[in-house]
Structure 1
Amino acid sequence: MAEQGVPPVPSPAAMSYPAASVGLPTGPEVLRTYSGAFICLEIIFGALVWILVAASNVPVPVVQGWVMFVSVTAFVCSLLFLCAYLCGLVHMIPVNWNFMDLSFHFFAFVFYFGAFVLQAAVSSLANLMRNENSTVLHLSNHKIGLNVAATIFAFAATVCYGCSMVLGFRRWRQ
């Protein structure tokens, strides 16, 4: 029988790995939080940016290539991040998930802000360069509309990543 007041000796396996630090619930309950809702919106808006830029036939490949890279990469990473919470993998991987959440959303916010600015530049230049003497960029009204819609959804995705970053910062500081 163990003595009173003496803590049990922990096993070496329990001492070798730090416990996972998780601030969000796992499973379907994560979808009931603000962070889960923002991650879902990030996935939806990121997919719309990706689809709309691809549908415009990428008239400025250098600039919109970056927009496509950011939107596809952020889409995949957000989807993996959400799946890790839905499947409960956050309890199996010993990582500070609050810091991972903050750092992921910070970098996604910075990159998406840059992508939004570049997409807005393409949309505004296409609108200004519509006269007949211009050789810079000739777009039909349909492609201009696709680029403007992609700009709006890139802004919405940027705002969602910013809100997720703020919520992640609050969880990390607690």
Structure 2
Amino acid sequence: MAATTAQPMGSLPSGLGICTTAPDIFYLPELVFGGLVWILVASTHVDPPNPLGWVMFVSIFCFVMTFLWMIIFAAGGHQNNAGWAAADFAYHGLAAIFYLSAGVALAYITLENKNSKSFRIYQIDIAAVVFAYLATLLYFIHTILSSIRWKNF
């Protein structure tokens, strides 16, 4: 019989355990899709600056915070404390709401500027919208699984 590395939902993983347990397995995809939103929006002309500035803020903020959160969990800085389980739920819920608002704003601006931009820029904007919604989905799933873990803590 093979040994499992999965931990019960009532404890917080540390070390490489974050790569094998739910919801922490979502850290890397969240970083990838969030980073892609950041890169794709930054690679085009930011016009109008207000809604796309929000998209840039959300993508950079969530990228940095998720990376720091992942490092704290990998280093075991949470010390398997229930407060960290609650904070994990709260952060990922906030990130899901942020990404949903950013995705809606980005989709609206993309549709509004459909005819005024080159087709290449339009394709990049569409890709950014898709990745923003994928990031929203990942953060939402992470939030649900984090709430289950917090409840079982």
Residue 69 of structure 2 corresponds to residue 81 of structure 1: yes
Partner residue in 2 for 1:57: 45
Partner residue in 2 for 1:3: none
User: Partner amino acid for 1:118?
Assistant: A
Structure 1 consecutive aligned stretches of length 4 or more whose deviation exceeds 6 Å: none
User: Partner amino acid for 1:24?
Assistant: L
Q: 1:72-151 alignment to 2 at 5 Å?
A: 72-91=60-79, 96-127=83-114, 130=115, 138-151=116-129
TM-score under structure 2 normalisation? 0.88
Query: Aligned partners of 1:95 and 1:33: how far apart in 2?
Result: 17
Residue 130 of structure 2 corresponds to residue 159 of structure 1: no
User: Partner amino acid for 2:138?
Assistant: C
Query: Aligned partners of 1:76 and 1:119: how far apart in 2?
Result: 20
| Identity fraction in percent | 34
For residue 133 of structure 2, give the secondary structure of its aligned residue in structure 1.
helix
- Give structure 1 stretches of 5+ with no counterpart: 1-21, 131-137
Greater C-alpha radius of gyration: 1
For residue 13 of structure 2, give the secondary structure of its aligned residue in structure 1.
coil
Q: CA deviation at 1:95?
A: 6.4
- Contact 2:89 2:150 survives alignment (8 Å): yes
Query: Aligned partners of 1:57 and 1:32: how far apart in 2?
Result: 39
- Could you tell me which of 22, 25, 49 is aligned with 1:34? 22
Q: What's the CA shift string for 1:136-174, capped at 9, x where partnerless? A: xx2111111111000000000000000000001101111
Query: Aligned partners of 1:33 and 1:121: how far apart in 2?
Result: 36
Q: CA deviation at 1:109?
A: 0.8
RMSD: 1.5
Q: CA deviation at 1:37?
A: 2.0
Query: Aligned partners of 2:47 and 2:39: how far apart in 1?
Result: 14
- Contact 2:13 2:73 survives alignment (8 Å): yes
- Contact 1:31 1:37 survives alignment (8 Å): yes
Name the count of aligned residue pairs: 143
Q: CA deviation at 1:32?
A: 0.7
TM-score under structure 1 normalisation? 0.78
For residue 58 of structure 2, give the secondary structure of its aligned residue in structure 1.
helix
- Give structure 2 stretches of 5+ with no counterpart: 1-9
Residue 35 of structure 2 corresponds to residue 47 of structure 1: yes
